[in-house]
Amino acid sequence: MTPVGEMVLGLPEATLRPFVDRYVGYRERADVPLVRRESAGVFVVLILGWGAPLDVTDPRSAERGVTTVDSFVAGTFDGWCTTRTVGVGEGVELLLAPLTARRLLGLPLGELTNRAVGVEQLPGHWLDRLRDRLAEAPGWPERFALLDRVLTARLTASPPVDPRLAWAWRWLVASGGRGSVGELADELGWSRRHLAFRFRQDVGLPPKMAARLLRFQQAHTVSTEIASSGRAVDWAAVAAACGYYDQSHLIRDFHQFAGATPAALLAAR
């Protein structure tokens, strides 16, 4: 049975857009259990919801997931997981770049690597309070305006990340994950070991894994756009365009990060 619901996109105010690209408001009714497979990525998922609770499960370890929560944070994952819900759920979803999440949450993302955590477990309980205020707001415009105010205040009060680390992250993203980690370390004047330590601490994943995930995200996006246009996907060409050694390496990453072959993932969408 297909779930019934609505989705509303909100654009943050101009000063927030370098940090948060959009808000996604949703209301969804699932009359039978709705299970979704969620792909890995170098981003942090923040769900502030009210209504039907969710279970988040990492098949590699039950301890990494969380059950019966309506609001949670999922750190950077290097494998796919599933979500399960039934009933009527409503809330707001944000996908945050790691260093933005680092500032908003006020803790090293290494503490959230491959973990989903209910917001009540996070420091300060400010996300708990924000969730309650969002639920009480009369509509989506008021909710998005509230997010603007609260997130701006959090970023203003938080210290900026190390500019060298911020530059390293931008460099890796701009390369689409194809840049050499050794070259990046040399550009920074850091050892590879120190670069890996800083990424694990503040991004949640080592730079090589972050680079793999960036390539996977690009391959997923490119293949989806091609399929949406009605054209057949040439997977060898996608692999080459996204920096893969060959098609078999692309398929390996889709298995690890999405739990399916590229073709099966497109068919499911």
How far, in Å, CA of 136 to CA of 22, rounded? 21
Lookup result for tokens 């099966």: 264
User: How many percent of the chain have pLDDT more than 90?
Assistant: 94
The residues, any chain, with a CB within 8 Å of residue 2's CB and separated by 6 or more, are none
pLDDT (average), residues 74-98:
96
How far, in Å, CA of 39 to CA of 23, rounded? 19
How far, in Å, CA of 84 to CA of 68, rounded? 9
DSSP 42: S
- pLDDT tens, position by position, 157-184: 999 999 999 999 999 999 999 989 999 9
* pLDDT exceeds 90 at position 7: yes
Give the SS3 label for residue 199.
Answer: helix
Number of CB atoms found within 10 A of residue 151's CB: 22
* pLDDT exceeds 90 at position 125: yes
Number of CB atoms found within 10 A of residue 262's CB: 24
pLDDT (average), residues 77-88:
96
Averaged pLDDT of the chain: 94
How far, in Å, CA of 92 to CA of 70, rounded? 11
Report the pLDDT value the prediction gives residue 265, as an integer from 0 to 100: 86
pLDDT (average), residues 243-259:
95
* pLDDT exceeds 90 at position 145: yes
